[in-house]
Amino acid sequence: MDPFEVECVDDKNFPNELPLNKRPKKGQIYHITKMDYLRGHGSILGVQLEEIDLSDCAPYLYFAASRFKPVVPPEEIEEVELEEMIA
C-alpha cells in the first residue's frame, strides 16, 4: 500500500498520556500508512502515520481517521486503494 496524503483538521483532546511530540498538528500534511477498525473504541476507523511513530505509546497506536481529511479529493481516490489500506 502506498501512503496517501492527508491534512490534520483536528488536533484537540488527545489523551494526556500521549506526548506532545507524538500528536499531529492542525494544518500539517501527513501520510497514512495503515488503517484499521478499532473495535475497542466503537469500531471507529484508526490510522497510522508515516511521520509519527506510535510504537512506544501503547495503547495509543492509532489516530482517529476523523482527525484528517484527504489532500486529494475523495472522488479521486480509487475504491481499490481504500480497500487495500483497510485490509
d(CA 24, CA 60): 13
Query: Which pLDDT score, from 0 to 100, does residue 53 have?
Result: 97
Give the predicted TM-score (pTM) of the model.
Answer: 0.79
Query: Which pLDDT score, from 0 to 100, does residue 39 have?
Result: 80
CA nearest to 84, candidates 30, 29, 36: 36
pLDDT along the chain (87 residues), means of 10: 86 95 97 89 88 95 94 64 58
Query: Which pLDDT score, from 0 to 100, does residue 40 have?
Result: 73
Cβ neighbors of 77 (< 8 A, separation 6 or more) are 4, 70
Cβ neighbors of 41 (< 8 A, separation 6 or more) are 64
Query: Which pLDDT score, from 0 to 100, does residue 33 have?
Result: 94
Query: Which pLDDT score, from 0 to 100, does residue 38 have?
Result: 87
